[in-house]
Copies of this chain bind each other. A is one copy, B any other.
Amino acid sequence: MKTINIGILGYGVVGAGVAKLLKQKKQLLESRIGAVLNLKTIADIDITTDRGVELGTTALVSDATVIIDDPEIDIIVETIGGETIAKEFILKALENKKHVVTANKALLASYGNDLVKTARKNLVDLAFEASCGGCMPIIKSLRESLVANDIKAMSAILNGTCNYILTKISKDGSEFEDALKDAQQLGYAEAEPSLDIDGFDTAHKLAILNSLAHGMEINLKDIHVEGIRTITPKDIEFAKEFGYTIKLLAIGKIHENHVEARVHPTMIPDSNPLSHVDSSMNAIVIDADATGQAMLYGHGAGMMPTASAVLSDVADIARNIISGTKRRVPILGYPEDNIKPIPILPMDELYTRYYLRFEAQDHPGVLAKISGILGENNISIKSVHQKGRKTNGNVPIVMITHIAKEASVQDALIKISKIDSVVGSPVVIRIEETVQE
């Protein structure tokens, strides 16, 4: 039986998960793939901490070049994360004709196009199933299963931290800060939570998925990103009254000459299967022209789900090696020559529906003033709730609009916030209706 040698760069949680699963499933993998997947070497600057993995003959070294320059190693798994040293190592590994498997979404979102070019130049594979949606086979589905489809739209919950926090606010009526603290205590959120809760992690993943879905270059910088810091129990409660749930969604849609790519808190109706995706679970709804609506759901993070996704890539590459082939499926789903830059729609030009909440002193004529400004901005209102629930003497005015233009809504909000009786900043949350099938 052929032996395929593997090296792991980075022995943190994910690296240890990959090592553990490779060891635990040695027999299963041999039985299924027909090759020995031998974990030859792991490199990490910390070679003393016990990660609870029985390493056996696997070497643990502090110098990554021991792996990158080892002529016997076929596949390198990068689990360092971040955009500096990981990038340098991956580029060197590719130049050394190693196939690379990574879960590094931040790196792929920012430098993916360069990495793909380097992999192409060196005729090796670069695989990243674990970068988006953890154990859900999103990448494989887009690259392979949906090959005969044009992807019309994707909407996804791709960050377990945000979904946990929003679920907590929704179920317990917690304030954001308390829900965040709870998530931190349970290990769902980092001490420095910005990457997750401000939406950047979700945007990284959307940049990758948009590329795979539409054969476009990876483009992170033009994605509109908003996080969940401003979400209050009050808005979640109003959302429920209208039949909506609030989720942090990554939304990608194709239009004739551009794509939409945006990350923001979104109200979705109960008929949208994403509305039932709670706690730290992730899910993606893909609307493709032949399949119609489909959803993948699962653990988007965690040691073993991530390791499972990494090993699905390792197995794919191993199967290529024993079949005497490589680069069997293009890295981004389309051969590099067919990948085009497709512009992302500027946010101002978005048309969608909006939930608006204003706090106003209970003076006569406030509603008329607000409605007047919205009307002048061509924003027509589908429903209004003005209930007597006073907060600090103010009354909330809640509106759902028909489809309106983002620039007009933002302009109207500025004008409305200048009305004397309107207190504080208006709240705006975009609404995404389910595609009815």
Interface residues of A (CB under 8 A from B): 21-22, 25, 28-29, 31-34, 129, 134-137, 140-141, 144-150, 215, 273, 276, 288-299, 302, 304-305, 307-309, 311-312, 315-316, 319-320, 323-325, 328-330, 333-335, 338
Q: For A21, what are the chain B residues with a Cβ–Cβ distance below 8 Å?
A: 148, 290
How far apart are the CA atoms of A192 and B276 in the complex, in Å? 35
How far apart are the CA atoms of A86 and B236 in the complex, in Å? 55
Are A312 and B144 closer than 8 Å at their CB atoms?
yes
Q: For A140, what are the chain B residues with a Cβ–Cβ distance below 8 Å?
A: 137, 140, 144-145
Given contact pairs A140-B140, A140-B144, A149 touches B308 in the complex (Cβ within 8 A): yes
Are B290 and A147 closer than 8 Å at their CB atoms?
no
Q: For A150, what are the chain B residues with a Cβ–Cβ distance below 8 Å?
A: 25, 28
Are A291 and B135 closer than 8 Å at their CB atoms?
yes
Are B25 and A308 closer than 8 Å at their CB atoms?
no
> What is the CB-to-nearest-CB distance from A170 to chain B, in angstroms, rounded to a whole number?
15
Given contact pairs A31-B215, A273-B276, A319-B329, A146 touches B312 in the complex (Cβ within 8 A): yes
How far apart are the CA atoms of A238 and B379 in the complex, in Å? 46
Q: For A329, what are the chain B residues with a Cβ–Cβ distance below 8 Å?
A: 319
> What is the CB-to-nearest-CB distance from A283 to chain B, in angstroms, rounded to a whole number?
8
Can you list 9 A-B pairs, Cβ within 8 angstroms, ordered by A?
Answer: A32-B334, A140-B140, A288-B308, A291-B308, A292-B304, A292-B305, A293-B298, A294-B296, A324-B325
Are A311 and B25 closer than 8 Å at their CB atoms?
no
> What is the CB-to-nearest-CB distance from A117 to chain B, in angstroms, rounded to a whole number?
18
Given contact pairs A31-B335, A323-B323, A294 touches B136 in the complex (Cβ within 8 A): yes
20 more contacts with CB within 8 A, not counting A147-B315, A148-B312, A293-B299, are: A21-B290, A28-B148, A29-B148, A31-B335, A32-B147, A32-B333, A135-B292, A135-B294, A136-B294, A137-B144, A140-B140, A140-B145, A146-B308, A290-B305, A290-B307, A291-B298, A294-B298, A320-B323, A324-B324, A325-B325
Complex: chain B residue closest to A276, CB-CB: B276
> What is the CB-to-nearest-CB distance from A81 to chain B, in angstroms, rounded to a whole number?
20
> What is the CB-to-nearest-CB distance from A324 to chain B, in angstroms, rounded to a whole number?
6
A305 touches which one: B32, B136, B291, B296 (CB < 8 A)? B291
Q: For A325, what are the chain B residues with a Cβ–Cβ distance below 8 Å?
A: 323-325, 328
A298 touches which one: B147, B295, B312 (CB < 8 A)? B295
Given contact pairs A140-B140, A290-B308, A308-B290, A25 touches B297 in the complex (Cβ within 8 A): no
> What is the CB-to-nearest-CB distance from A256 to chain B, in angstroms, rounded to a whole number?
16
Q: For A32, what are the chain B residues with a Cβ–Cβ distance below 8 Å?
A: 147, 215, 330, 333-335, 338
How far apart are the CA atoms of A304 and B292 in the complex, in Å? 8
> What is the CB-to-nearest-CB distance from A31 to chain B, in angstroms, rounded to a whole number?
5
Are A292 and B296 closer than 8 Å at their CB atoms?
no
10 A-B pairs closest in CB distance: A294-B298, A135-B291, A148-B311, A323-B325, A290-B308, A137-B145, A295-B297, A147-B315, A290-B304, A145-B312
